[in-house]
Amino acid sequence: MPRGKSSFVFSLESKSKGPQFFRLNLQKVLEIKTLAQSHSSLIRIESMAENPKVVGHEIYELALAKKVKFPSTLTEVQREQKCFNIGQISKDEDGVIDRNKAVEELVSLYGLVEEKTDDKKRKAEDENDSPVKQKKTETFAFPDNEGIAVALREIAGFYYKEGEKFKGGVYSKAAKSIREFPSDVFAKDAKNKPIKIAGIGKSIQGLMDEFKETGQIRKLEELRAKHA
């Protein structure tokens, strides 16, 4: 099953064969549900069991961006499982897990990581910076990472300018992680997969791959054109 794609199980009541179970994506399930309601059919959603690993990982990444303070005693696997469990009690009226609501529940449960004074100062500077302006005093633990870090920080600046503080924070955190990373962020691990970097999720990793291959990021070019 492709990562990030949710699937659901439903049953079709049959007088001759009894309940028949099928696995479909969310769009198909909702179409069937609507059809059942309009035709008084015996079709009914039996369970909406989203893939625990996928959902747990999605909520966990959002929680990290939000800086939820998870207990240090929990492993990453346990944290993702906890995120999925919280998601189970954060469903909307259609029975679909509301990721943002789940994150808010986690914030209520664990609180947020307290920012250090330097981090607060840097965050304030990020929000007040021009999207295309780079700090002259900024240094990089690995100089070759400067290009992608500057690009991601510029994207963060545009989102802050648009009032999208959450998105701006995600990209700002990614840029900071790359700025402080001690080696090449484009290196691969023993399995030829991207090395793990704090604050870098699947979507930002995709932008990094694009930058490595083409030297630019289409999202950034679109934001520059939009704010030109």
Query: Looking at the structure, do residues 39 and 80 belong to the same domain, yes or no?
Result: no
Question: Is 212 found in the same domain as 124?
Answer: yes
Is the same domain home to 75 and 125? no
Strands 20-25 and 43-47, bridge-based pairing: unpaired
Nearest by Cα to 53 from 73, 33, 30, 80: 80
State the CATH number of the domain containing residue 194.
1.10.150.110
* Domain end call among 27, 49, 71: 49
Write down the pTM of the prediction: 0.43
**CA 213 and chain centroid, separation:** 23
pLDDT of residue 25: 56
Same domain membership, residue 58 and residue 79: yes
Residues of the chain with pLDDT under 50: 1-7, 9-11, 13-15, 17, 19-21, 40-48, 130-135
The answer on 62 and 39 residing in a single domain is no
Domain hosting 177: range is: 117-226
- pLDDT score at 95: 81
| Residue 223: per-residue pLDDT | 94
Q: Strand 20-25: give its sheet, edge to edge.
A: 20-25, 7-12, 43-47
Are 104 and 201 within one domain? no
Terminal C-alpha separation, the chain: 41
Q: State how many domains the chain has.
A: 3
Residue 195 sits in the same domain as residue 125: yes
Residues 31 and 75 in one domain: no
Token pair in block for residue 71: 């207990």
* CA pair distance 163, 136, nearest whole angstrom: 25
The rounded radius of gyration (Å) of the Cα atoms in the chain is 22
- Considering the domain architecture, whether residues 124 and 217 belong to the same structural domain is answered as yes
Residues 61 and 130 in one domain: no
Q: What is the pLDDT of residue 41?
A: 44
Q: What is the model's pLDDT at position 15?
A: 47
Q: What is the pLDDT of residues 111-137, one digit of tens each?
A: 998 866 555 566 565 555 544 444 455
